[in-house]
């Protein structure tokens, strides 16, 4: 009947139903590599089929494709993760939907929820969970994106395994298991993790169970939101609340900027810290409230911190600890009410160095000797609004029993904190002879400066 003119009642029905008549094609993702956009129904089978076809175009340099969903006003896609279609089966992440090509974009348009309903436990493990563990997506190849959807109960979340210029953005996860997003040690450069909303310490919904590291039932999202084991990335504009470690960096070169985190105003252990256990890190314009620590520099990590707001940390706003020559530079940070929990470490305050006499801190004018710690010397401009709480604690070997310090052999780190304002002078500084903390050119903060 090719070429026949449609008239009469049939034509009228087409006019009434319009585009819905033609929308029955469902998965229209083609194996033709010139196709730039396609859509699939809200099923795991359709998604895997679409990714498999995109992966097959990896050898076409001009390939680019956006995959969307026939989601209407919204849909839930139950993912059993038992299929090996479009999966990298040799990876730690079991049967994750694996993007191995390039310029493949999966866009949920904020209407899609990926729900894990397969075999595997949602657990905050001590260290790493036993492999293999199901995950939602694994990103390989290069220049791939997954964005604008909700995910829940996936034991291993999303992994960026290898390749450059991948993006994870606009993802919401309120039921996190081990980590929501992981940048693996084998990841490349130009990684972007932005605009995500990640929430921990939530109660599992009907039909789901979250486990503690002990294996007992507990809350979801007790461990980490974003785990960074290597590569080079920008982690920006994320809202990460009430989870143990909002960001944990082990190695690599990273920018952590413009993120917002609130822990708990009643429980010091709900949120631990933005923890930098290694790597070279630029950390700026983040707002962190009610965590045990705000920003923690561990061992030989390097952190250049600018214009962060850290308030009501139970133990320390900034803490430098561990072994190795840890480096911290601070410029224009705002610190308020940090270190007020007397039931925790006795080494408390806005800026704390403990257990690491080799650490070097430049919060203005270089370290104690005036030497630059990272790049050029800091201009200072940090705001300490601490009341009677410690501004700076620099007794690294203080032996404590409960909240009482039992003396020191005098070891402390090299700390410079010149050209800063404090809400009361002299700054409340803990150090012992020989003193190695400088607070030259201190001024008094105005009430307006402390209003943040």
What is the distance of C-alpha 88 from the center of its chain? 24
**Whether residue 387 has pLDDT greater than 80:** yes
Phi, psi of 61 (to 5 degrees): -60, -30
Residue 250 and residue 229 in contact, taking contact as beta carbons nearer than 8 Å: yes
Strand order from edge to edge, sheet including 179-183: 97-99, 137-139, 158-160, 179-183, 224-228, 245-249, 274-276, 293-298, 316-321, 349-353, 392-394, 429-430
Of 214 and 84, the one with more pLDDT: 84
- Residues 6 or more apart whose Cβ sits within 8 Å of residue 88: 96, 98, 100, 138, 140, 161
Note the pLDDT of residue 403: 57
Q: What is the mean pLDDT of the chain?
A: 92
Q: Is residue 38 part of a domain?
A: no
Q: Is residue 432 part of a domain?
A: yes
The pLDDT of 78-105, averaged and rounded, is 95
> Which residues, listed in sequence order, are joined to residue 228 by a DSSP beta bridge?
183, 249
**Whether residue 332 has pLDDT greater than 50:** yes
> Which residues, listed in sequence order, are joined to residue 296 by a DSSP beta bridge?
275, 319
Q: Is residue 40 part of a domain?
A: no
Pick from 25-29, 30-34, 190-194: least confident: 25-29
Residue 379 and residue 418 in contact, taking contact as beta carbons nearer than 8 Å: no
Of 89 and 193, the one with more pLDDT: 193
The 3-state DSSP class for residue 15 equals helix
Query: Which residue in 267, 264, 227, 265 sits closest to 249, CA to CA?
Result: 227
**Position of tokens 């409340």?**
428
In the chain the first and final C-alpha atoms are separated, in Å, by 73
Note the pLDDT of residue 11: 38
**Position of tokens 């849909």?**
75
pLDDT band at 129 (very low <50, low <70, confident <90, very high): low
Residue 243: how many other CB atoms lie within 10 Å: 29
Q: Is residue 186 part of a domain?
A: yes
The 3-state DSSP class for residue 190 equals coil
Note the pLDDT of residue 390: 96
Q: Is residue 41 part of a domain?
A: no
Q: Is residue 120 part of a domain?
A: yes
Of 402 and 407, the one with more pLDDT: 407
Pick from 19-33, 34-48, 154-168: least confident: 19-33
Q: Is residue 6 part of a domain?
A: no
Pick from 119-133, 162-176, 214-228, 281-295: least confident: 119-133
DSSP class per residue in 96-150: -EEE-SBSEEEE-TT-EEEEE-SSS-EE--SSSPPSPEE-SEEE-SBS-EEEEEE
The pLDDT of 335-349, averaged and rounded, is 91
Q: Is residue 161 part of a domain?
A: yes
Of 310 and 212, the one with more pLDDT: 310
Residue 93 and residue 132 in contact, taking contact as beta carbons nearer than 8 Å: yes
User: Domain with 87 in it: what CATH number?
Assistant: 2.160.20
List, for residues 181-214, the tens digit of each pLDDT value.
999 999 999 999 999 999 999 999 999 999 998 8
**What's the full length of the chain, in residues?**
452
Name the percent of the chain lying above pLDDT 70. Answer: 91
Name the percent of the chain lying above pLDDT 90. Answer: 83
The parent domain of residue 226 ranges over 74-444
Total structural domains within the chain: 1
What is the distance of C-alpha 441 from the center of its chain? 36
Phi, psi of 309 (to 5 degrees): -110, 120
Prediction pTM value: 0.92
The pLDDT of 266-295, averaged and rounded, is 98
**Whether residue 226 has pLDDT greater than 70:** yes
Query: Which residue in 439, 421, 441, 443 sits closest to 429, CA to CA?
Result: 439
Residue 251 and residue 279 in contact, taking contact as beta carbons nearer than 8 Å: yes
- Residue 283, token pair as written in the block: 């950390």
The pLDDT of 213-242, averaged and rounded, is 96
Note the pLDDT of residue 15: 38
Note the pLDDT of residue 392: 98
Note the pLDDT of residue 127: 59
Note the pLDDT of residue 442: 98
Q: What helix, strand, coil percent values describe the chain, rounded to 5?
A: 5, 35, 55
CA 183 to CA 25: how far, in whole Å?
36
Residue 402: how many other CB atoms lie within 10 Å: 10
């Amino acid at each position: 009947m090719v070429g026949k003119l449609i008239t009469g009642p049939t034509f009228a029905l087409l006019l009434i139903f319009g585009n819905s008549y033609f929308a029955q094609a469902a998965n229209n993702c083609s194996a033709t590599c010139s196709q730039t956009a396609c859509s699939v129904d809200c099923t795991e089978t359709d998604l895997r089929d679409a990714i498999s076809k995109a992966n097959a175009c990896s050898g076409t340099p001009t390939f680019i494709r956006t995959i969307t969903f026939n989601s209407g006003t919204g849909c839930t896609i139950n993912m059993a993760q038992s299929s090996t279609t479009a999966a990298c089966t040799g990876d730690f992440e079991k049967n994750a939907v694996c993007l191995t090509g390039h310029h493949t974009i999966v866009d949920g348009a904020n209407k899609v929820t990926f729900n894990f309903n397969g075999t595997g436990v949602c657990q905050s493990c001590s260290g790493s969970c036993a492999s293999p563990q199901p995950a939602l997506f694994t990103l390989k190849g290069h220049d791939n994106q997954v964005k604008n959807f909700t995910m829940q109960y996936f034991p291993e979340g999303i992994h960026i395994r290898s390749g450059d210029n991948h993006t994870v953005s606009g993802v919401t996860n309120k039921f996190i298991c081990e980590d929501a997003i992981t940048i693996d040690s084998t990841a490349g450069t130009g990684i972007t993790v932005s605009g995500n909303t990640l929430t921990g310490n939530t109660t599992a919904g009907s039909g789901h169970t979250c486990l503690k590291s002990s294996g007992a039932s507990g809350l979801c999202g007790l461990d980490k939101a974003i785990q960074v084991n290597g590569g080079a990335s920008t982690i920006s504009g994320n809202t990460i609340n009430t989870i143990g470690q909002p960001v944990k960096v082990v190695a690599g070169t990273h920018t952590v900027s413009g993120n917002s985190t609130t822990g708990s105003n009643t429980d010091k252990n709900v949120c631990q810290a933005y923890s930098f256990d290694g790597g070279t890190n630029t950390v700026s314009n983040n707002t962190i409230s009610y965590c045990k620590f705000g920003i923690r520099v561990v061992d030989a990590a390097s952190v250049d911190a600018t214009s962060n707001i850290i308030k009501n940390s139970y133990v320390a706003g900034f803490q430098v600890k561990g072994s190795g020559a840890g480096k911290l530079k601070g410029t224009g940070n705002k610190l308020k009410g940090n270190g007020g929990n007397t039931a925790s470490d006795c080494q408390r305050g806005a800026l704390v160095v403990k257990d690491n006499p080799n650490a070097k801190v430049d919060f203005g004018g270089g370290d104690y000797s005036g030497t630059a710690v990272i790049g050029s010397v800091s201009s200072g401009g940090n705001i300490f609004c601490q009341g009677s709480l410690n501004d700076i604690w620099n007794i690294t070997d203080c032996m404590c029993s409960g909240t009482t310090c039992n003396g020191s052999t005098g070891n402390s780190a090299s700390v410079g904190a010149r050209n800063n304002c404090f809400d009361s002078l002299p700054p409340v500084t803990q150090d012992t002879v020989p003193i190695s903390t400088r607070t030259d050119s201190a001024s008094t903060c105005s009430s307006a400066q402390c209003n943040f």
